[in-house]
Amino acid sequence: MPATAGPDKPQRMSKQTQITRKTVKDIAKAKGGTPLVMLTAYDAPMAELMDPHVDMLLVGDSLGMVVHGLPSTVGVTMEMMILHGQAVMRGSEQAFVVVDMPFGSYETSEDQAFLNAVRIMKETGCQAVKIESGAYAAKQISHLVERGIPVMGHVGLRPQAINVDGGFRAKGRTETEREIVINEARAADRAGAFAIVIEGVAEDLAAEITAEVSCPTIGIGASASCDGQVLVAQDMLGLFDWAPKFVRRYADLRAETESAVKAYADDVRSRKFPGKAETYSLRKP
């Protein structure tokens, strides 16, 4: 039985101690102020650990690669996003939760985007959705916002476009690319996005976009000038043997996990586990 289960586990909150989640207004007020803290979350236990320390949790379609071992985010489905979104909502209390709309769920039309966004929000209870904001996306963003769905944009390196770009590579490092990225950010801002993720762009371009758009920007491989930062939690925690250039590792949980698993395996094989402390004995009447 997992440690989180059981009838004796106390309730996480009562009516007297109920915590209110952050809102779109809270995020908007951060523009130009103390940087927003955002991390990805894909399950309830990790969401619970991160919740007190972050402003936002992103249920990113990166879960396809991080959790499910897919080669890219392209194969992620609506069902996967909803399942993980539900788990993160159960594990968190105060963070503003954003769920990615997966590849193919919003590009065709405004109506397609709306119906899928409604499904995500209804079935997870999240506060917003995120879409990768190509040139086509402004209409979808505007359509969703007008109908009551907060939308976070995403410009620069767009993982769902990996097959067009031929891989994951930084954007905005040529004049032509710079113009494309900044125009996408402008369009998302004008369409009503409450925040925009800027991924994998030249530092000065991220600073330029942040200064120009009215909504907060969230950098990942962008610039400290952004209004906030996001990282994939597993990258930041050192759970993989490789991480992108823009990641700073704050722990080495891969090595710690391997060491713990080896110690467990050694104890099992030598019959040191379970020991007396981990076994039950007959109760005397």
Cα distance between residue 165 and residue 158, in whole Å: 9
Q: Which residues are annotated as a binding site?
A: 61-62, 100, 130, 132
203, burial (CB in 10 Å: exposed 0-12, middle 13-18, buried 19+) = middle
Which residues fall within 8 angstroms of residue 246, CB to CB, at 6 or more apart?
200, 220, 221, 222
**How many whole angstroms from its chain centre is CA 269?**
39
Q: Which residues are annotated as a binding site for Mg(2+)?
A: 61, 100, 132
Task: From the candidates 93, 123, 199, 278, give the one annotated as an active-site residue.
Answer: 199
Is the Cβ–Cβ distance between 157 and 200 less than 8 Å?
yes
Instruction: Give the β-pairing of 151-156 and 56-59.
Output: unpaired
Phi, psi of 52 (to 5 degrees): -70, -15
Tokens of 202: 């030249």
Which residues fall within 8 angstroms of residue 235, CB to CB, at 6 or more apart?
243, 244, 247, 249
Smallest CA-to-CA distance from 79 within 48, 46, 101 is with 101
- At 197 the three-state DSSP class reads strand
**How many whole angstroms from its chain centre is CA 22?**
16
Residues written for the chain: 285
User: 199 catalytic, yes or no?
Assistant: yes
Active site residues: 199
